């Protein structure tokens, strides 16, 4: 088995020496266990906080153990009556070519006609996150203005399109011209600005959101969020999904100015974690699966070939090098 373990906890930016590639012997399966050969591994921003020991909503990765991630794989050996050789399963597996698993928490998928990587993206966790945040927190109405940061990422691309389908004026930001063009031409955003070249985020928001902002789907945090916060309308909603610009900060940055704004404008700021809402997964699959099948929801992904490249690709994710859902094709 080839696997990648956490060699060291990062301080500030993640560096290559935080990871170590290892080759270990395949252990014999005990009763109840299965051997899953990894096909696709999802790389996600939440893995960065898990590399540290700071309090979060998921336990830290353990030092010298393989990192784990949402994955799709094939059962190649089974001593568990619930799984047969050839089953395609998804769930949390190791950053490895193979994972020995007890089968708990894995879900069998019938992948007929659907690319397996889609289960990690547009039909999986990031898309479910977007759907939950838009539908249950942002609740956009026709004619309202919705802002989405990291607009073309795995979550953002779906959030923006769902807000657009609800009839909102949708504005986003992304870290490169090509991404901004895709957001407008393919995903239907009304506008998307480049946060790396637009230094005055407030001024560009004033131009692109002349009616203010009714709902913010927040992926990035930091200075972009602060500018959005100041422009929220009365009864504005913020779906706090993530704050990727802050994940590598060694010291936390200050929050937005004038917190009394929350009272004055009767704002709702709600943080959420998608795994708390698994009971709604069926509803999500029906709704979003239908939109994907009918071509009404577009998606982009970046596929990296080979497990060995996972660390580098993950470091790139934290700098915006991915375009859409980032997955590693393992085998």
61 touches 6 (CB < 8 A): yes
Distance linking the first and last C-alpha atoms of the chain: 12
The answer to whether residue 45 forms part of the interface with ligand NDP (CB under 6 A) is yes
**Chain position whose Cβ is nearest to ligand NDP:** 153
In contact, 152 and 183? CB cutoff 8 Å: yes
**Is 179 a residue that touches ligand NDP (CB under 6 A)?**
yes
Rounded CA-CA distance 10/118 in Å is 30
Q: Which stretch binds ligand NDP (CB under 6 A): 14-22, 83-91, 152-160, 279-287?
A: 152-160
From CA 302, how far away is CA 325, in angstroms rounded?
A: 6
For ligand NDP, give the closer residue by CB, 36 or 243: 243
Q: Choose the binding region for ligand NDP from 41-49, 71-79, 111-119, 207-215 (rule: CB under 6 A).
A: 41-49
Binding of residue 191 to ligand NDP (CB under 6 A): no
Residue from 74, 77, 176, 198 binding ligand NDP (CB under 6 A): 176
What is the H or E stretch that residue 161 is in? helix 156-165
Binding mask 265-284 for ligand NDP (x = CB under 6 A): -------xxx----------
Asked if 304 touches ligand NDP (CB under 6 A), the answer is no
Which contacts of 191-200 are long-range, i.e. CB under 8 A and separated by 24 or more positions? 192/151, 192/152, 195/149, 195/220, 195/224, 196/320, 198/173
Residue 145 as a binder of ligand NDP (CB under 6 A): the answer is no
Residues 207-266 that bind ligand NDP (CB under 6 A): 219-220, 241-245
Going residue by residue from 93 to 112, which x/- string records binding to ligand NDP, judged by CB under 6 A?
--------------------
Q: List the beta bridge partners of residue 148.
A: 172, 217
Cα–Cα dist 144/141, whole Å: 6
Residues that bind ligand NDP (CB under 6 A): 44-46, 126, 129, 150, 153-156, 174-176, 179, 195, 219-220, 241-245, 272-274, 317-318, 320, 322, 326
């Amino acid at each position: 088995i080839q696997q990648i373990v956490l060699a060291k906890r990062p301080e500030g930016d993640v560096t290559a020496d935080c990871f170590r590639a290892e080759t270990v012997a395949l252990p014999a399966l005990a009763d109840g266990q299965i051997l899953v050969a990894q096909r696709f591994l999802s790389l996600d921003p939440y893995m960065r906080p898990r590399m540290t020991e700071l309090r979060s909503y998921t336990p830290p990765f353990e030092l010298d153990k393989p990192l784990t991630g949402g994955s799709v794989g094939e059962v190649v050996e089974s001593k568990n009556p619930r799984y047969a050789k050839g089953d395609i399963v998804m769930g949390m597996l190791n950053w490895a070519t193979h994972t020995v698993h007890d089968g708990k928490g894995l879900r069998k998928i019938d992948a007929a006609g659907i690319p397996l990587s889609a289960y990690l993206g547009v039909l999986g966790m990031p898309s479910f996150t977007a759907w939950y945040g838009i539908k249950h927190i942002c609740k956009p109405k026709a004619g309202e203005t919705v802002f989405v940061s990291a607009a073309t990422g795995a979550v953002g691309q779906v959030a923006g399109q769902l807000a657009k389908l609800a009839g909102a004026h949708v504005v986003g930001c992304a870290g490169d011209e090509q991404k901004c063009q895709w957001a407008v031409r393919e995903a239907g955003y009304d506008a998307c600005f480049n946060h790396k070249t637009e230094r005055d985020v407030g001024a560009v928001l004033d131009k692109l959101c002349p009616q203010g902002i009714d709902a913010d789907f927040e992926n990035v945090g930091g200075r972009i969020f602060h500018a959005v916060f100041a422009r929220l309308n009365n009864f504005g909603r913020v779906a706090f999904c993530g704050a990727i610009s802050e994940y590598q900060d060694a010291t936390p940055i200050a929050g937005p100015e004038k917190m009394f704004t929350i009272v004055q404008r009767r704002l709702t700021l709600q943080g959420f974690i998608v795994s708390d809402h698994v009971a709604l997964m069926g509803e999500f699959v029906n709704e979003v699966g239908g939109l994907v099948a009918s071509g009404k929801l577009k998606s982009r992904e970046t596929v990296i070939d080979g497990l060995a490249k996972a660390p580098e690709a993950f470091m790139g994710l934290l700098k915006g090098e991915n375009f859409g859902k980032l997955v590693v094709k393992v085998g």
